[in-house]
Structure 1
């Protein structure tokens, strides 16, 4: 069973309900956690569940959470009986792997319910405060056998931190998953920089190249390889309706400028580009031909495709794809379409500036 949440606040509400019903274990893995209002509600539930004897594990990225949590955050949770691990901590040693961050967003409850999507557990994702206008993000809930993949992904990362063996694995994989008779298919997947091949980019390329009618994409950043750019351009040239929605208000001005340097080639090929007028677009999803979709943590940039640990869910002919399609059409109505003229009428200075920005794109 799949449920798509067109707003992060709706996903959080569902997560709070699921967490409050946990009986065996809770696994949570996030890039960023902010110990304020939104996570405060979660933390209180985790405390109560730990008191009840539920196994609670929390895993977060050190860089992603800088400035968001107190140094005594972990100590407090561990005193409550909550297990915590930090991914790739900056202290005590900076190393060559500092550039590889855990960008995944996973919650698993009792091995039966799972959540993922674009949002972290910080107030700005839920518009509790809005430094970049309205923050647009999405998520998805899974129930049933597919949750087993999310459980395994979490345990793999958890034990990778100290090279410890995974013991009692089958204690976390139910003997019998709740059965759902809904239509369609669901396949959670993940990428790690150690894999040796860019699975996230390959999934997107495969979807784009298989499209016959439409390709809709949301991403906060657009810093793509020539292969991805070429695939999008070729799709538009063969008559596919290709649309990309990016932020109208950026969170990183410099990265925003680099993203815009990719506009001209795409616009000239017939790709339609929108900028989300109300604020910052942070959701990461792809919809192809209204029958196949991907929702997860992958941005359309080098970091997600090559440097970060990421995860997503691939959907095919699932009823929730209609909800994803509705979300896209609402975005097109509330966003400003970039004029195709921007793909042609560029001054020499603009072309030189954009060319220079592209040189450093793989580093961003």
Structure 2
């Protein structure tokens, strides 16, 4: 070991030069390329660690093979065009007005648009969680869960106990948790009792084999979804843990958004779970009627809904492209809630252009950080979006807003797990629902306006009062923003 130490600095410099060459030929965006070059050159030790963890693009090479996302999703592809055309012909005002969004989602995901849905929007995390537990306890055939974080605390234990209770009634349960997000629970005894039950299967998403040199820190499963008996689905931004129910003193009241879907679109959430289950277990689940019920004889509602997954092994950055089109197509109103606002150049330009064009653009972000670097990167964008006419609001600093919601022109809304940042757009596994239903959108906008009552509007004059230290910190964080 002692003989290795003298050559370590030279080895580090050599590896950094190799990384610099990889960056130059990596065909990333210019902003990402410049950021990595600066970090690697001026901060070689830190740059080496950061690039090893977050910079190397393994997604279409060895670690993430091209799994059969298309195997499951392309089977629905022949339905996509038929469903889209038929539904548009039925006279949906929202669908006709935003048909470009539908075309992008249908083409990129190969998933059909469904109309026979009822959607309930939740804005209170305790209500969300209680509804989930009630539906879980009433399951009769299967429960599929997928979360970035399930904590080993009182909230996590309530979920675990409910799963054990229903598993004893011969209900089949499959759970996917992310290794990074749920690492503390996975290291504890929390999941051991679940693993022992014959009706429960647990899968860890992309295990980290070398914790100290984590080459898999990127490409995490950030999805949050539940499917119950193939007829009820949940998705949104909330994980499972005490802090998400407002029980953590650091964050206080936790504001999040989720939806409960009953009807045909649950089929597409199920397909996404099937894809992820194959990814982690290499087991293909059978497409039987228990997983994919026949909805043709039951009317649930008329909420036109497109379930949109996005992942690093897809051909398209689907959610990023849909966010871009949503913003670019906005004419009268654009309301965005996100805990992390770190847009790329295209999204930023679209947002500023919408505001300059006279659209009522409102952006709501947290008023306090959960991660200081991402918070500073977020606030670094305030000045230029304000100058274009975007209205910026920061949530009550004694609360925390974690919703990932966009509404456009009172016609369409997206709710899911994806933040407005480059990690959600390009790197992580995400899922969101695009909903074309004026009544649902009106409910979401009502929640948004209520959130603004607990928020502070930011003006350019406020930013001028920032200290040199804060401005410098924001500039440094902004430099890192393409790789956060």
Q: What SS does structure 1 have at the residue aligned with 2:227?
A: strand
2:399 is matched with 279
Q: List per-residue Cα deviations over 1:194-229 (Å, max 9, x = no partner).
A: 113211111111111111111001111111101100
Q: List per-residue Cα deviations over 1:44-92 (Å, max 9, x = no partner).
A: 1211211111101111001101234553333311212211000011235
- Assess, with a 3 A threshold, how the Cα gap between structure 1 residues 92 and 177 changes in structure 2: closer, same or farther: farther
Q: CA–CA distance in 1 between the matches of 2:220 and 2:300?
A: 37
1:91 is matched with 209
- C-alpha contact (below 8 Å) 1:272/1:337 kept by paired residues: yes
The 5 A counterparts of 1:1-364 are: 1-81=118-198, 82-91=200-209, 96-176=215-295, 179-180=298-299, 182-277=301-396, 278-342=398-462, 353-364=473-484
TM-score (ref. length: structure 1): 0.94
Q: CA–CA distance in 1 between the matches of 2:300 and 2:191?
A: 41
Q: What SS does structure 2 have at the residue aligned with 1:231?
A: helix
Q: Which has the larger radius of gyration?
A: 2
- Assess, with a 3 A threshold, how the Cα gap between structure 1 residues 320 and 178 changes in structure 2: closer, same or farther: farther
Q: CA–CA distance in 2 between the matches of 1:177 and 1:43?
A: 34
Task: Give the aligned CA root-mean-square deviation in angstroms.
Answer: 2.0
- Assess, with a 3 A threshold, how the Cα gap between structure 1 residues 360 and 182 changes in structure 2: closer, same or farther: same
| Gap runs ≥5 in structure 1 | none
Distance apart, 1:102 and its partner CA: 0.4
More strand per residue: 1 or 2?
1
2:47 is matched with none
Q: CA–CA distance in 1 between the matches of 2:143 and 2:349?
A: 42
- Assess, with a 3 A threshold, how the Cα gap between structure 1 residues 177 and 51 changes in structure 2: closer, same or farther: farther
2:90 is matched with none
Q: List per-residue Cα deviations over 1:258-307 (Å, max 9, x = no partner).
A: 11111111011010110001421111000111121000001111110011
- Assess, with a 3 A threshold, how the Cα gap between structure 1 residues 360 and 23 changes in structure 2: closer, same or farther: same
- C-alpha contact (below 8 Å) 2:227/2:270 kept by paired residues: yes
2:71 is matched with none
Q: CA–CA distance in 1 between the matches of 2:421 and 2:352?
A: 17
- Quick check: 123-132 or 222-231, which moved more? 123-132
Q: CA–CA distance in 2 between the matches of 1:353 and 1:127?
A: 29
- Assess, with a 3 A threshold, how the Cα gap between structure 1 residues 40 and 245 changes in structure 2: closer, same or farther: same
Q: What SS does structure 1 have at the residue aligned with 2:176?
A: strand
Distance apart, 1:8 and its partner CA: 1.5
TM-score (ref. length: structure 2): 0.71
| Gap runs ≥5 in structure 2 | 1-117
- Assess, with a 3 A threshold, how the Cα gap between structure 1 residues 231 and 7 changes in structure 2: closer, same or farther: same
State the number of aligned residues.
364
